[in-house]
Amino acid sequence: MAQKNHWSDWQPLPGWNPSSDVLRETLDGGQSFRWTPDAGTTANPAREIWTGTWSTHLVQVRPQPDGLAWRSPLPAAAPALHRYLGLDTDWSAHTDALPWRSDPHLARCLAAFPGLRLLRQPFGETLLGFLCSATKQIVQIKQMLALLAERHGPLVCRAGSPNPAKAAFGDAALQCHQLPTWSHLASIPEKDLRACQLGFRARYIAETAQFLAAHPGWLDETERLPYAAAKTRLIQLPGVGEKVADCVLLFGAGKLEAFPVDTWMLKSLARRYGLDGWKPAQVAHFGRTHFGPIAGLAQQYLFSWERKFGGR
Partner DNA sequence: TGTCCACCTTT
Partner DNA sequence: AAGGTGGAC
Residues that bind DNA in the complex, under the rule CB under 7 A: 29-31, 133-140, 194, 197, 199-200, 203-204, 235, 237-245, 247, 260, 262-264, 279, 281-282, 285, 303, 307, 312
Of residues 80 and 247, the one with the C-beta less far from DNA: 247
C-alpha pair distances (Å), 67 with each of 20, 21, 43, 45, 89: 11, 14, 16, 17, 17
Of residues 146 and 240, the one with the C-beta less far from DNA: 240
Closest separation in Å from C-beta 130 to DNA: 8
Nearest one of 283, 281, 247 to 268, comparing CA atoms: 283
Closest separation in Å from C-beta 241 to DNA: 3
Grouping H, G, I as helix, E, B as strand and the rest as coil, residue 262 is: coil
Closest separation in Å from C-beta 60 to DNA: 22
Q: How far apart are CA 312 and CA 307, in angstroms?
A: 8
CA atoms in the 13 A half-sphere facing the CB of 33: 26
Q: How far apart are CA 114 and CA 281, in angstroms?
A: 29
Q: How far apart are CA 236 and CA 212, in angstroms?
A: 11
Beta bridge partners of 63: 68
Grouping H, G, I as helix, E, B as strand and the rest as coil, residue 181 is: coil
Closest separation in Å from C-beta 158 to DNA: 28
Beta bridge partners of 5: 159
Closest separation in Å from C-beta 106 to DNA: 17
Of residues 31 and 161, the one with the C-beta less far from DNA: 31
C-alpha pair distances (Å), 66 with each of 25, 48, 62, 81, 104: 19, 15, 11, 19, 30
Closest separation in Å from C-beta 301 to DNA: 12
**Strand pairing report for 49-54 and 57-64:** antiparallel
Of residues 76 and 228, the one with the C-beta less far from DNA: 228
Of residues 36 and 133, the one with the C-beta less far from DNA: 133
Of residues 49 and 196, the one with the C-beta less far from DNA: 196
Closest separation in Å from C-beta 52 to DNA: 15
Confirm if 271 and 305 have CB atoms less than 8 A apart: no
Closest separation in Å from C-beta 161 to DNA: 26
Of residues 82 and 151, the one with the C-beta less far from DNA: 151
Confirm if 155 and 135 have CB atoms less than 8 A apart: no
Of residues 59 and 240, the one with the C-beta less far from DNA: 240
